[in-house]
Amino acid sequence: MTDEQREGAATADAEEPRTQAGDVLEVSVERIVPGGAGMAHARGLTVFVPLAAPGDVLRVRVERVKGRVAFASLAEIVAPGRERVEPPCPYFGRCGGCDFQQLAYEAQLAAKVEIIRDCLRRIARIAPPAEIPIAPSPSVWRYRSRARWQHDTRNNHLGYYELASHRVIDVAECPVVVPELQETLSRLRASVVERSTDAEAAREFEAVAGDDGVSLSPPLAEEDTRERARVIAGERYSFDASCFFQINHALLDALVREALREEGGGAEPEGGRGGSAVDLYCGVGLFTLPLARRFARVTGVEANPAATAYARRNLSDAGLANGRVETAPVGAWLARRAHGLAPVDLLLLDPPRAGAEHGAVGGMLALRPRRIVYVSCDPATLARDLRELIAGGYLLDSVSAFDMFPQTHHVETVARLTRAE
């Protein structure tokens, strides 16, 4: 390096000091990005800040730096953006459950659509559709019909994990759970305070509300062990806290209609129903039942034995003998069965947040379905899997969103694909 280069580098270092953990920066938030953080730029770095709103001017504390990216926490709101509102929950900012309470609801919806667009561009490497409609939640508070509560037996705390930690916040009231679950939480807290034997032993509780009460696991009373039911889009589903069921029941009718909107309205064509469908990650049969009213043969696949038992019962109770459910990890089932099945008319999948497991997309392609409906709760893993499906010969027809998770950055997405001929 020449003396002139050394002098120039020294001057650049003096103008732009090295940023490190503990530094406090003032930033202007530009937009919300996948993961829910606000994005800003300072000192030549891209800075990500949770709990921010577009247009905020913030003082932030740098937590770590990786290359030209800094991850920071909010230290002070210098000037709030126009879309910032006052979070009503006293635990907001500490609780790891909600990260969008600082945003006006219309801003939450807009941010979620942009998150989907960003993932499609960056991860799937495709141009997003010109329009991505998003269905708002009928209730933006008191909408969650399912909850998981942590019990810290050392400190006798009951609630949720703190943001980015496994410390348990003691939560007396949660503004996003339905009233029946709030009553259950209050009853459970009373039991924990009294140090009852069952509550003291448990480290985690699962609760789900149906039309006819709440199922709690592990139970505190005999009533908690009973299965519950919910009617969705005209179908009755039984379930309990041991298996997954969607959390925002008020949006499920619309979600099912969108997923199956091109599969007929359930009326049988002349000569009866025709064709076949496969429902991967079928759970207790949310999509399996309406699919069985539209297709001659339907196969559901689910790894959770409790869920598959309910799915079989739900089909039986509905009088749908043309549907069957197999208990198996989806990837393993596809590896075993995909090459032995005739091409199916429709493949529907509704995987967990991690998306399709390794190798599963290859198995789906081996089935050669005419159409694919991908229901996702994570735009990033959806985009990852779409990239592979599109490379395998499918065209993306449409993308629509459903705000199943108000006050959080999470969003439900329905992507429809057809096989390129």
Is 163 within 8 Å of 50 (Cβ atoms)?
yes
What are the counts of helices (DSSP H) followed by strands (DSSP E) for the chain? 10, 21
- If you compute the radius of gyration of the chain from its CA atoms, what whole number of angstroms results? 24
Cα–Cα dist 90/319, whole Å: 48
Which backbone phi and psi does 290 adopt, to 5 degrees? -65, -30
Q: Which residue has the tokens 């933006």?
A: 140
Cα–Cα dist 208/112, whole Å: 26
For 283, the token pair is 């759970």
Is 334 within 8 Å of 307 (Cβ atoms)?
no
* Residues 104, 109, 115, 121, Cα dihedral to 10°: -140
For 246, the token pair is 């969607």
The full length of the chain comes to 421
Task: Say which of 119, 243, 282, 377 is annotated catalytic.
Answer: 377
* Cα angle 99-67-166, degrees, rounded to a multiple of 5: 35
Number of Cβ within a 10 Å radius of residue 93: 17
Q: Which secondary-structure segment (H or E) carries 347? A: strand 346-349
| Catalytic residue status for 377 | yes
Q: Which long-range contacts (CB under 8 A, 24 or more apart) does 172-177 make?
A: 174/89, 174/97, 174/144, 174/147, 175/88, 175/89, 175/141, 175/142, 176/97, 176/98, 176/141, 176/142, 176/143, 176/144, 176/406, 176/407, 177/142, 177/144, 177/145, 177/147
Which residues of 43-108 form beta strands (DSSP E)?
45-49, 57-66, 69-79
Residue type at 341 in one-letter notation = L
Q: Which residue has the tokens 């709440």?
A: 214
**Which residues sit opposite 375 in a β-bridge?**
414
Q: Is the peptide bond before 218 cis (omega within 30 degrees of 0)?
A: yes
- Give catalytic residues, as residue numbers: 377
